[in-house]
């Protein structure tokens, strides 16, 4: 990878004398960038370009040369790669188009190129990309229009070359620079996971921002991102959030677990901070690059106007942050510095008359409060001084503060100079409080991530893997791949998930005998690997008491199931202890083809798909990750107790989630598993899987 980011020499294959050609643009940018290594050009027509000879062939290029930028028609690329391989070049960027993105013929061309690269032990970036640049080396292999980006500390990896071009121009206008930029293109060889570690190793890069249209290797991406995020924050935007085209699946979990849910869970597992828009991604990236991390969620707001302060208060709360409770000493100190009409409660309104001295004094006071973890300074242009004067007075304090401070410069023409001062001093500035609050929240997320990722996966006791293997070895799934209810419950129980007392009955008399043995009111549920949703076919009877009720119910649900699903193989009926009331939740897992087992938790029962109160996380989970998954739903908050009802046994639910996730991790043949409902009792009384469905895949 050093050949891409620190080559001793670069050759542009397809360099052109024609200024309208991409080969001219790449040659120009390489020269103009100030690259200090050897620069070579290749074109069969020969000539001179930028006072350098154009060689007729790659074989004619003198040493040193480590990296090739190839900009020739697609069909000619294989021969160019062959020539590079024979010349000893081990890194190539293919900027040419006409590959996989054009159809089957282009896909075959791409495969041919990859075979050549593998044979010569060559790594490839692209094809169909614009190249890469490093503003500090410096080096620019792209063919984008000049000027390039300002030197900075944010690296940008992108699947889209057009987005790269737009980001460079926009970043210059916003006054921040880039350390590196890499266009990934079709990812014939190198993908986003491969580029993470070498990008993070760059000492000039403080934050990695990513524009992703997909992920080439889900497991590799998570593995590499988890390593990188310990040293450098990673912020990403993922486009293409629709579930269109996803194959139909049989369980609620599968139906609700769309591709976007999988990406969201993967990003959380990997420690990637997911932005909702490009602007948000770079707002966060600037804050992460330039600000210290807060130690909590309590923020203070300092402004010279009440309206912006109110907007900020709402925005902070909307982003999961809190207005800090200022101490009596802090309020007293603020009162000494401000007019009587000023508000010294948070948000602090210093009034329109506040100037550089008042802002600086109040900011120092707020930062000294142990209950304040960060400050948002909001500055509509002050009437008695300039915004630049105020910013100039507070920047020295911000630069030395161990707490983050972001500035909101509301306006346009009157804040231009103030914005320049902020950017020169690497202090994040925003136009509205909402964007500033969002950026403070990103800092909090990063701070909490670093703590969470130090927590390992706790070992689970009571797991009987051999028993689970035996069940899977002997179980006969139905046509849909589902196990019988009996096998599914036994499999869950082998991993320590609680199930009610129950028996399989093949006849009405066996059902009556099973009910007697259980010795309580019972429920009957038809047992068939071909009927995953029993209530849909009338295959459930509840609250049965006495021989007559049980016998009649067995006949009734059996007949109803046969009538609704005549082809189904019916094993009999599960006779299950009718348990006391509790809160019902759903716990499920579905195997994502890229990222692996995707756990789901939410409100359970028959209306789960209508309610859609669910959240997802990638297995395996530690206790903290499980708590975050549970707390992200209404069902989870409900377990804490509400409207006078006592708290439920959240710990039992957390334990069941981790056990179900571990089951799916240990046995890749499990495509989907779902417990719906899981009934949760009062704190310390446990949780029980009333209905377990498990589907095997190929």
Fold of 2-239: Rossmann fold (3.40.50)
Instruction: pLDDT band for 258, please (50, 70, 90 cuts).
Output: low
**Domains of the chain: which residue ranges?**
2-239, 292-452, 501-578, 583-696
Q: 635: phi > 0 → left, psi -120 to 50 → alpha, else beta; which?
A: alpha
The arrangement of secondary structure in 501-578, i.e. its CATH architecture, is: 2-Layer Sandwich (3.30)
Split at pLDDT 50, 70, 90, the class of 250 is very low
Check whether 245 has a pLDDT greater than 50. no
Nearest to 589 by CA among 572, 614, 570: 614
Identical topology for domains 2-239 and 583-696: no
For residue 254, what pLDDT band results from cuts at 50, 70 and 90? very low
On the question of pLDDT at 607 being above 90, the answer is: no
Confidence at residue 489, expressed as pLDDT on a 0 to 100 scale: 95
- In 3D, which of 177, 168, 217, 213 has the Cα closest to residue 196? 217
Contact 598, 618 (CB under 8 A): yes
State the architecture of 292-452 in CATH terms: 3-Layer(aba) Sandwich (3.40)
Give tens-digit pLDDT for 293-314: 999 999 999 999 999 999 999 9
Under DSSP, the state recorded for 620 is: S
Quick one: residue 351, left, alpha or beta (phi over 0 = left, psi -120 to 50 = alpha)?
left
Query: Phi, psi at residue 461, to the nearest 5°?
Result: -90, 170
What tens digit of pLDDT does each residue of 131-159 get? 999 999 999 999 999 999 999 999 999 99
Cβ atoms within 10 Å, residue 63: 11
pLDDT band at 606 (very low <50, low <70, confident <90, very high): low
Mean pLDDT of 412-421: 96
Query: What is the pLDDT, as a whole number, of residue 456?
Result: 73
Q: What is the pLDDT at residue 244?
A: 40
Side-chain-facing half-sphere of 580: CA atoms under 13 Å? 6
* Cβ–Cβ < 8 Å for 44, 73: no
Task: End-to-end CA distance of the chain: give it in Å, rounded.
Answer: 37
Mean pLDDT score, 651-680? 96
* pTM, entire model: 0.90
Please give the full DSSP string across 42-99, using - where no structure is assigned: E-TT--EETTEEEESSGGGPPSP--EEEE-S-GGGHHHHHHHHHHHT--EEEE----S
CA of 179: how far to CAs of 5, 61, 169, 176, 466, in Å?
A: 12, 30, 14, 10, 52
What is the per-residue pLDDT for 452? 74
Residue of 535 and 662 predicted with greater confidence: 662
How far, in Å, CA of 477 to CA of 487, rounded? Answer: 9
Tell me the CATH number for domain 583-696: 3.30.470.20
């Amino acid at each position: 990878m050093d050949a891409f980011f620190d080559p001793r020499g670069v050759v542009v294959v397809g360099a052109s004398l024609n200024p309208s050609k991409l080969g001219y643009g790449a040659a120009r940018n390489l020269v103009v960038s100030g690259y200090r290594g050897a620069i070579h050009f290749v074109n069969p027509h020969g000539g001179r370009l930028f006072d350098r000879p154009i060689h007729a062939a790659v074989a004619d290029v003198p040493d040193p040369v480590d990296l090739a930028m190839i900009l020739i028609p697609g069909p000619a690329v294989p021969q160019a790669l062959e020539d590079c391989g024979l010349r000893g070049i081990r890194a190539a960027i293919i900027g040419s188009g006409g590959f996989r993105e054009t159809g089957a013929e282009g896909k075959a061309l791409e495969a041919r190129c990859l075979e050549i690269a593998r044979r010569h032990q060559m790594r490839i970036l692209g094809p169909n990309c614009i190249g890469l640049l490093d503003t500090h080396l410096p080096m620019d292999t792209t063919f984008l229009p000049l000027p390039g980006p300002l030197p900075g500390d944010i690296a940008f990896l992108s699947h889209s070359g057009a987005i790269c071009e737009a980001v460079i121009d926009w970043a210059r206008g916003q006054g921040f620079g880039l350390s590196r930029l890499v266009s990934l293109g079709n990812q014939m060889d190198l993908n986003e996971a491969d580029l993470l570690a070498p990008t993070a190793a760059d000492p000039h890069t403080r934050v990695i921002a990513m524009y992703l249209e997909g992920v080439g290797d889900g497991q590799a991406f998570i593995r590499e991102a988890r390593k990188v995020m310990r040293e450098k924050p990673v912020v990403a935007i993922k486009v293409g959030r629709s579930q269109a085209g996803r194959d139909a699946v049989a369980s609620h979990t599968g139906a609700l677990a769309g591709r976007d849910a999988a990406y969201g869970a993967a990003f959380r597992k990997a420690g990637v901070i997911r932005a909702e828009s490009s602007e948000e991604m770079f707002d966060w990236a600037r804050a992460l690059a330039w600000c210290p991390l807060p130690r909590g969620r309590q923020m203070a707001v300092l402004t010279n106007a009440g309206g912006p302060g109110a907007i900020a208060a709402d925005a902070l709360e909307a982003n999961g942050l809190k207005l800090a409770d200022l101490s009596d000493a802090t309020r007293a100190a603020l009162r000494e510095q401000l007019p009587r009409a000023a508000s010294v409660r948070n948000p602090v309104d210093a009034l329109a008359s506040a100037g550089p001295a008042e802002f600086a004094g109040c900011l120092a006071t707020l930062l000294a409060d142990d209950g304040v973890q960060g400050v948002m300074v909001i500055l509509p242009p002050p009437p008695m001084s300039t915004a630049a004067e105020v910013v100039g007075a507070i920047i020295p304090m911000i630069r030395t503060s161990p707490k983050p401070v972001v500035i909101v410069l509301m306006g346009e023409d009157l804040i231009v100079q103030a914005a320049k001062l902020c950017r020169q001093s690497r202090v994040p500035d925003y136009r509205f409080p909402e964007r500033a609050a969002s950026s403070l929240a990103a800092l909090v997320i990063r701070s909490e991530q670093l703590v969470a990722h130090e927590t390992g996966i706790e070992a689970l006791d009571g797991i009987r893997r051999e028993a689970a293997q035996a069940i899977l070895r002997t179980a006969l799934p139905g046509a849909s791949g589902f196990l019988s209810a009996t096998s599914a419950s036994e499999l869950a129980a082998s991993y320590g998930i609680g199930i009610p007392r129950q028996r399989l009955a093949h006849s009405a008399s066996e059902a009556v005998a099973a009910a007697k043995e259980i010795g309580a009111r019972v429920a009957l549920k038809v047992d068939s690997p071909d009927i995953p949703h029993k209530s849909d076919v009338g295959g459930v009877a509840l609250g049965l008491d006495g021989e007559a009720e049980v016998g009649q119910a067995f006949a009734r649900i059996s007949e109803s199931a046969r009538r609704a699903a005549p082809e189904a193989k019916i094993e009999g009926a599960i006779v299950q202890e009718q348990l006391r009331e509790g809160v019902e939740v759903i716990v499920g897992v579905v195997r994502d083809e890229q990222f692996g087992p995707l756990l789901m938790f939410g409100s359970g029962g028959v209306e789960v798909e209508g309610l859609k109160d669910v959240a997802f996380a990638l297995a395996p989970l530690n206790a903290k990750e499980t708590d975050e998954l549970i707390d992200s739903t209404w069902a989870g908050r409900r377990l804490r107790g509400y409207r006078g009802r006592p708290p439920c046994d959240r710990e039992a639910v957390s334990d069941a989630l981790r056990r179900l996730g571990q089951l799916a991790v240990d046995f890749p043949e499990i495509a989907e598993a779902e417990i719906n409902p899981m009934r949760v009792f009062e704190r310390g009384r446990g949780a029980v899987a009333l209905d377990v469905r498990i589907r095997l895949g190929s």
